[in-house]
Structure 1
Amino acid sequence: MQSSLCFHCGDDCGKSSIYFKEKSFCCNGCKTVFEIFSENDLTSYYDLQQSPGAIPKAIEGKYDFLSQKTIIEKLTDFKSDTIEITTLYIPHIHCSSCIWILENLNKLNPNITDSQVNFGKKTVRITYKYEETDLKSLVVLLSKIGYEPYISLDDYKSNQKHINRSLIYKLGVAGFGFGNIMFLSFPEYFEVNEFWLEQYKHLFRWLMFGLSLPVVFYSGQDYFISAYKGLKAKLLNIDVPIALGISVLFIRSTADITFDLGSGFFDSLSGLIFFLLVGKFFQQKTYNFLSFERDYKSYFPIAVTKIKNGKETSVQVYEIKNGDHLLIRNQELIPVDSLLINGRAKIDYSFVTGESQTVGKSKGEKLFAGGKQTSGVIEIKALKSVEQSYLTQLWSNDVFNKNKEDGFTNITNSISKHFTISILTIAFIATGYWLLIDPSKAMNVFTAVLIIACPCAIALSAPFTFGNLLRIFGKLKFYIKNTSVIEQLAQIDTIIFDKTGTITSNKTSTAQYQGKALSDDEAVVLKNSLRGSNHPLSRTLYNILKDNNIISLDMFKEHIGKGIEAKYEDTNLKIGSAKFVGNTDHKTALNTTVHISSNDNYKGKFTFYNSYREGISKLFNQLKTYYNLAILSGDSEGELENLKKLLPSKTKLIFNQKPEDKLEYIKYHQSQGTNILMVGDGLNDAGALAQSDVGIVISEDINVFSPACDAILDAEKFKRLFSYIRASKSAILIVRWSFLLSLFYNIIGLYFAVTGQLSPVIAAILMPLSSISIVVFTTISTNILGQRLK
């Protein structure tokens, strides 16, 4: 019997192939995987890449340890009454078919509700119904289909960070081959007839051929694979001309030494691949540096209340340590895995699961990071410190991402596509011309054109410019979700501000009470009601009122845009707008007011004397020249005269706006072609922030974490908003300049290549240098921009 290749994994089956449905398999494991895919209508897995699977290993009894509760808890990211979420490291993830099958695990096991692959980290995040299936079953299933997870119980998370060294190995092989081939080529370069005897010439040429094989088929394989995938998908990507150039050089050189026509171009070929990989290595290192800065140093300016010796102090989330006693208010994020030690917890885990179902928890139960408390105050004990990258992951969860056009990405792809077609056309025309004029130059011209004119520099311009600016903004306490937000920010023409907590400062505002005196019981309930709210007015009033006993309220409910309702024993308080508390006789005041009723009896009101943020007049005067400005406030018109004096005359001032009114206002203006930036406090403005083209939340020592926003701005940096927007516009200008530089380079390079004045190896050196020069240009330009911002 003839040996054949396994249909699943591609290995040689030897002489004992297993045949099933007219296909060969090397073992029963691969055959079983094919059967599983066939039964579940998943055979299109094999359409994505030929023989993409790994050989499943024997797994019987191997994962019995995953039935132990303590081990499951260590490997689980989240657990509710019905679902669990785990993140597993899968070393075998390597291609599009891997991603496809791992994100369709629900077809193999219907109890898996969701699975998301992080290709860069080689991880899969799986959400499953743990009452119907368990972690062991998941791991066994993954192993059966050739994706066995790597599990280390000793600091599992840290063991996931494996470094992919394949590029380094390929660069090493290419460098070794290039150096030795150049050495073997010296005698012919210098025409050393005394040494270059007939018997050595052929030996050296075949040695060069032998050294070129691993360079082409190992070091250069990524270019062939990428080009093949692109052509299979009917796309001309940027690797097509490179793969074509390498192929032509190799075939021509092999033909030359086979038919004794010359020594070929093995030196140019190996040099080409070596210098291409050098450029690729530099790009990867630079991008990894930017990613590192983003993941580990861009801490969100969100805070949490820490209780120590009976005192409440606000601390940054990354200062939380194991054992810390934390206070979580209504609508606040739980930043770390913790135990509930006081209060009634009603947790919304939609940030984690994407489902808006709340879960009740009792004292002593475990709470997972990422949940949001929705019913008053709770006190928790931290079980570990904050993992900042986890918060980044929650913020960027696909469930909350808006489908906004990434214009520059589309421009880059479009340029690359047309660029490739143009280069191939120029290459064939130039080669045809030289075949008629001087055939000896034709092959050099063809290869040099394909190599020198590469759109890599164009493709790198936007990600490196925006990526570096993202890092710079983070250091300046302006935290942006992703690079596409920078482009959106550069395109806005209208800016809408919320008033309370956005242009006003909670820390310096004061309040004065008018009305009937509150009883001791009412004062205690009022203080504890305000303690549970994150609304700017609640926080201001809470800090002004004298200290009272801390109690657990029987009922707490926050009505967004209206007020708070709370009950303790026989006292039922309402705190909020006049209409909400039932005061029909209220007349519009000159200042912001908060009204109080007890057991449906109106008691009085707190009048606030707002303190506007430092530099607000200067900021609005800077913005008015370039943007349409508006204030949308839920307060009454009492502050109208103060704002007229403070802000430019063209600023629209609209009051008595409910959250849904703000949303409709933005929708209407967007329908008229307006690009809107919304700046709010993230509490009552979630709908408006989500609807706007860019939504920015102002953070001032409260745990504001809104998936609806695109950016978080530290309140201290509010006066710098115009500078940040202007920097975004400058970033677009940098990208356009880098496009022009790349175009200029390509025109000059093509001229020398088409006229036969450029050898392939020189083209191979210049091509990555052009990419590196673009990266250097964008990095230096954005760094200069960052220095100006400081």
Structure 2
Amino acid sequence: MDKSTCFHCGDPCDSTIIKYNEKTFCCNGCKTVYEIFSENDLTCYYDLQAAPGAVPKEIQGKYDFLGQENIIEKLTEFNDGNTQIVTLYIPHIHCSSCIWILENGNKLNPGITASQVNFGKKTVRVTYNTEKTSLKEVVLLLSSIGYEPYISLDDFKTGKEHINRSLIYKLGIAGFAFGNVMFLSFPEYFEVGEFWLEQYKHLFRWLMFSFSLPVVFYSAQDYFISAYKGLRAKILNIDVPIALGITVLFVRSTAEIIFDLGSGFFDSLTGLVFFLLLGKFFQQKTYSFLSFERDYKSYFPIAVTKISSEEGETPIQVYEIKKGDRLLIRNEELIPVDGILINGKARIDYSFVTGESETVSKKSGDKLFAGGKQTAGIMEMEAIKSVEQSYLTQLWSNDVFSKNKEDAFKTLTNKISKQFTIAVLSIAVIATTFWLFVDTSKAMNVFTAVLIIACPCAIALSAPFTFGNLLRIFGKQKFYVKNASVIEQLAAINTIIFDKTGTITSNKQSTATYEGETLSNSEEILLKNTLRGSNHPLSRTLYNILEENNIITLNHFEEHLGKGIEASHNNENIKIGSASFVGSTETSVLNTAVHISTNNTYKGKYTFYNSYRKGLAKLFNKLKKHYDLVILSGDNEGELDNLKKLLPTKTKLIFNQKPNDKLEYIKYHQTEGAKVLMIGDGLNDAGALAQSNVGIALSENVNVFSPACDAILDASKFNQLYNYIKASKSAIKIIKWSFVLSFIYNIIGLYFAVTGQLAPVVAAILMPLSSISIVVFTTIATNILGRKLK
């Protein structure tokens, strides 16, 4: 029987060939996977890459233990009874087909609501409905299509931190082959006639050919795969000229030894791949260090209120939470850790975690999961584990909750790399054509040297290393940026919009006076406890000003964004907010005020005397020279005169803006060409933060989490805002300077390559050195930038 290869996995069908739909399979397992994909209209899996699958293993009974509740509880990161989320480590993930099929798991099992692949870590995060499927069924499904997860029962983890050593293996093989090929080439280098006999010449050449095979087909495979995927997507990426150069060297060298024309360029070929991988290894190590620094340092600067018998209610940073701590969670606050509800009414919005916006009611003793948001007033909970910053980061960066602003934003690298690659290929073809007519012996060397020396790796590295290092530096300066794209967009803004209350005003230093009927003791207690459940800046200020009162559990609590809050206890009702919200007819707008009514009877108001943040006037004067400045406030015009005195002229001051008004204002000005930076407190401003080109949430000891924001700024660093924007602009200049350095290097290198004075192996040594020099330049430059921020 003729030998063939399996359509699904690519393995040779030596002993058994199974035919189905005019396709060949090596076993029934591969055939079954193909049938599953066909029945569910998922055969596009094979269009992305030929034979991408793995042979499914026999797993009958292997995962029966996943039916036990205690094990499910340990393995899942979220489990509210209806929805479970688990992150599984899948060792077989290796290509775009794998990502595509794993993220289309809902078509294979309707119980799976979402699945997201982390290609670098080889994990898939699966969200599924427990009424339609189970963890065991999810794992069996993945195993049946060749993606069996690794589950360790020793530590109840769904994946270990496996170190990917493939680059080290490829580098080792390339280095071994390079050394041996150089050794076998010595006789010809030195023209040792006595030794380089006819009988050994062919042997040595075929040995060099043998050593080059694993280098080309294993060590260099990533370049070919990347180039192929780029070309298939009609993109000329930076690996196209490298793959072309390696192919030309290998084909030319093979042809020379077959037709006995010479010994070929196997020394240059193996040396090229070795030095390319060496440069790649260095880059990977450096960038992983930068990523580690950011992962370790970039804690969210949000706080949660800890309740203790000794100190009462004190705000602590979320990463200081320990198992057993009692935490106070206010309305609209994020639950930072898994815990148990102690008292209070809880209606939890888990949309940040599951994507489902329907709230879930919880009672005392129920388990609460990190990432949920309390929407029914105040509650107390006990932490059952410490906070996992990586989990909070995952919530913040989850694509489900972002608008992917960067999709409409072309990066510097994207603008340049395509044109650069076209130019390099054109120069290579023209120079080679010239040498074919002048000196054919140099033509191949010139072609290969041009492709290698002009590789735009240095250009591709400029932005990641500059922005990566700046992300780390910003984190140390308490400015927490979501990703590198935000820095580039921050450098491009021309309009800055500020919320007023809680953004340019400081809650800690504001004062208030009361005008109206004296409140009874029960009304004061109800007022204090209602304010205790709210995170609005005015609520927090007033709560801190009022005297301590008994803590009571409210029967009802509701917050109306942009209007006020209402609550009830026993037979007493209270409304706190704007005059119209509580039923007052007062029209005075002299000062910011919070009005109060109880049992539908107007009582009075607290008038606030705002304390503006330190350095506000100086900051605005710096910003006004370069940007259009706007204050969008939900308050009345009471502070208009004070702001006019404090802020530079031509600063737009707009009051009585509801959350949706702010969003529409930003949207309109964006259509007029404005690149908007919005700065708010993250509570009422979520829509405006999401609509803006860059949204910054200001944090001041409150656990208000907004996935809409692109950055979080610690309130103590508010007066440094101009310096952060300036640093972003400087980062763009650093990248442009690194581009200039790279172009200078390329022009010089191209001169020697085009004139035939540069051997491919020398070009291979110079290329990673140029990349390393760019990395060193950008790192030093951004570190100097960081020192200036201090």
Shorter-chain TM-score bucket reads over 0.9
SS in 1 for 2:400: coil
Question: In the TM superposition, what whole-angstrom CA distance separates every residue of 1:66-91 from its partner, at most 9, and x where no partner exists?
Answer: 00001111111212353211111111
The answer for the alignment partner of 2:728 in structure 1 is 728
The answer for the alignment partner of 1:456 in structure 2 is 457
Tell me by how many angstroms 1:408 deviates.
7.3
For residues 307-386 of structure 1, the aligned pairs below 5 Å read: 307-309=307-309, 311-386=312-387
The answer for the alignment partner of 2:45 in structure 1 is 45
Deviates more, 1:705-714 or 1:212-221: 212-221
Matched, 1:141 2:146: no
The answer for the alignment partner of 1:400 in structure 2 is 401
The answer for the alignment partner of 1:511 in structure 2 is 512
Contact conserved, 1:303 with 1:316, CA < 8 A, in 2? yes
The answer for the alignment partner of 2:614 in structure 1 is 614
For residues 178-217 of structure 1, the aligned pairs below 5 Å read: 178-217=178-217
Whole-Å separation in 2 of the counterparts to 1:420 and 1:692: 34
Tell me by how many angstroms 1:257 deviates.
2.6
Tell me by how many angstroms 1:438 deviates.
1.3
Q: Which runs of 5+ in 1 are unaligned?
A: none
SS in 1 for 2:631: strand
Whole-Å separation in 1 of the counterparts to 2:315 and 2:675: 36
Whole-Å separation in 2 of the counterparts to 1:348 and 1:171: 49
Contact conserved, 1:8 with 1:34, CA < 8 A, in 2? yes
SS in 2 for 1:512: strand
The answer for the alignment partner of 1:600 in structure 2 is 600
Q: Which amino acid aligns with 1:210?
A: S
Whole-Å separation in 1 of the counterparts to 2:444 and 2:276: 20
SS in 1 for 2:420: helix
Whole-Å separation in 1 of the counterparts to 2:258 and 2:665: 75
Q: Which amino acid aligns with 1:767?
A: M
The answer for the alignment partner of 2:711 in structure 1 is 711
Whole-Å separation in 1 of the counterparts to 2:457 and 2:127: 38
Tell me by how many angstroms 1:701 deviates.
0.6
Q: Which amino acid aligns with 2:695?
A: G
The answer for the alignment partner of 1:577 in structure 2 is 578
Deviates more, 1:335-344 or 1:774-783: 774-783
Q: Which amino acid aligns with 1:485?
A: V
Cα RMSD for the two superposed structures: 1.6
Whole-Å separation in 1 of the counterparts to 2:158 and 2:390: 13
Question: In the TM superposition, what whole-angstrom CA distance separates every residue of 1:522-569 from its partner, at most 9, and x where no partner exists?
Answer: 111111101100111111111111111111100111111111101001
Contact conserved, 2:151 with 2:157, CA < 8 A, in 1? no
Deviates more, 1:673-682 or 1:138-147: 673-682
Q: Which amino acid aligns with 1:732?
A: I
* Gap change, CA 1:651 and 1:768, over 3 Å in 2: same
Deviates more, 1:81-90 or 1:129-138: 81-90
Contact conserved, 1:408 with 1:462, CA < 8 A, in 2? no
Tell me by how many angstroms 1:156 deviates.
4.4
Whole-Å separation in 2 of the counterparts to 1:481 and 1:656: 31
Contact conserved, 2:275 with 2:768, CA < 8 A, in 1? yes
Contact conserved, 2:150 with 2:158, CA < 8 A, in 1? no
SS in 1 for 2:567: strand
Whole-Å separation in 2 of the counterparts to 1:260 and 1:26: 40
The answer for the alignment partner of 1:658 in structure 2 is 658
Q: Which amino acid aligns with 2:658?
A: K
Deviates more, 1:626-635 or 1:205-214: 205-214
SS in 2 for 1:491: coil
* Gap change, CA 1:500 and 1:97, over 3 Å in 2: same
SS in 1 for 2:576: strand
For residues 637-786 of structure 1, the aligned pairs below 5 Å read: 637-786=637-786
Tell me by how many angstroms 1:428 deviates.
2.2
The answer for the alignment partner of 1:635 in structure 2 is 635
Q: How many residues align?
A: 789
Contact conserved, 2:346 with 2:363, CA < 8 A, in 1? yes
* Gap change, CA 1:479 and 1:402, over 3 Å in 2: same
Contact conserved, 2:304 with 2:317, CA < 8 A, in 1? yes
The answer for the alignment partner of 1:523 in structure 2 is 524
The answer for the alignment partner of 1:566 in structure 2 is 567
Whole-Å separation in 2 of the counterparts to 1:544 and 1:36: 65
Q: Which amino acid aligns with 1:472?
A: I
Contact conserved, 1:563 with 1:574, CA < 8 A, in 2? yes
Whole-Å separation in 2 of the counterparts to 1:588 and 1:537: 16
Deviates more, 1:597-606 or 1:191-200: 191-200
Deviates more, 1:255-264 or 1:276-285: 255-264
Contact conserved, 1:177 with 1:270, CA < 8 A, in 2? yes
Whole-Å separation in 2 of the counterparts to 1:210 and 1:723: 58
Q: Which amino acid aligns with 1:561?
A: G
Whole-Å separation in 2 of the counterparts to 1:27 and 1:160: 30
Whole-Å separation in 2 of the counterparts to 1:587 and 1:234: 64
Question: In the TM superposition, what whole-angstrom CA distance separates every residue of 1:91-128 from its partner, at most 9, and x where no partner exists?
Answer: 10000000111111111111211111111111111111
The answer for the alignment partner of 1:27 in structure 2 is 27
Question: In the TM superposition, what whole-angstrom CA distance separates every residue of 1:647-690 from its partner, at most 9, and x where no partner exists?
Answer: 11221222222222222222222221111111111111111111
SS in 2 for 1:596: strand
The answer for the alignment partner of 2:536 in structure 1 is 535
Matched, 1:422 2:413: no
Question: In the TM superposition, what whole-angstrom CA distance separates every residue of 1:670-719 from its partner, at most 9, and x where no partner exists?
Answer: 22111111111111111111111111111011112111111110000000
Structure-2-length-normalised TM-score: 0.97
Contact conserved, 1:494 with 1:676, CA < 8 A, in 2? yes
Q: Which amino acid aligns with 1:579?
A: S
SS in 1 for 2:356: coil
Deviates more, 1:575-584 or 1:142-151: 575-584
Contact conserved, 2:86 with 2:127, CA < 8 A, in 1? yes
* Gap change, CA 1:769 and 1:157, over 3 Å in 2: farther
Q: Which runs of 5+ in 2 are unaligned?
A: none
For residues 43-442 of structure 1, the aligned pairs below 5 Å read: 43-157=43-157, 159-309=159-309, 311-405=312-406, 410-442=411-443
Tell me by how many angstroms 1:414 deviates.
4.6
SS in 2 for 1:399: helix
Contact conserved, 2:690 with 2:709, CA < 8 A, in 1? yes
Q: Which amino acid aligns with 2:391?
A: Y
Whole-Å separation in 2 of the counterparts to 1:410 and 1:527: 50
Deviates more, 1:153-162 or 1:545-554: 153-162
Tell me by how many angstroms 1:221 deviates.
1.4
Matched, 1:474 2:475: yes
The answer for the alignment partner of 2:491 in structure 1 is 490
Tell me by how many angstroms 1:254 deviates.
2.2
Contact conserved, 1:29 with 1:55, CA < 8 A, in 2? yes
| Percent of residue pairs bearing the same amino acid type | 77
* Gap change, CA 1:374 and 1:109, over 3 Å in 2: same
Deviates more, 1:702-711 or 1:207-216: 207-216
Contact conserved, 1:142 with 1:149, CA < 8 A, in 2? yes
Tell me by how many angstroms 1:440 deviates.
1.3
Whole-Å separation in 1 of the counterparts to 2:201 and 2:679: 74
Contact conserved, 2:77 with 2:86, CA < 8 A, in 1? yes
SS in 2 for 1:213: helix
SS in 2 for 1:225: helix
Deviates more, 1:96-105 or 1:205-214: 205-214
Whole-Å separation in 1 of the counterparts to 2:41 and 2:670: 44
* Gap change, CA 1:613 and 1:598, over 3 Å in 2: same
Whole-Å separation in 2 of the counterparts to 1:487 and 1:232: 29
Whole-Å separation in 2 of the counterparts to 1:593 and 1:62: 66
SS in 1 for 2:630: strand
SS in 2 for 1:217: helix
Tell me by how many angstroms 1:756 deviates.
0.3
Contact conserved, 1:409 with 1:462, CA < 8 A, in 2? no
Contact conserved, 1:530 with 1:542, CA < 8 A, in 2? yes
Tell me by how many angstroms 1:410 deviates.
4.8
Contact conserved, 1:2 with 1:15, CA < 8 A, in 2? no
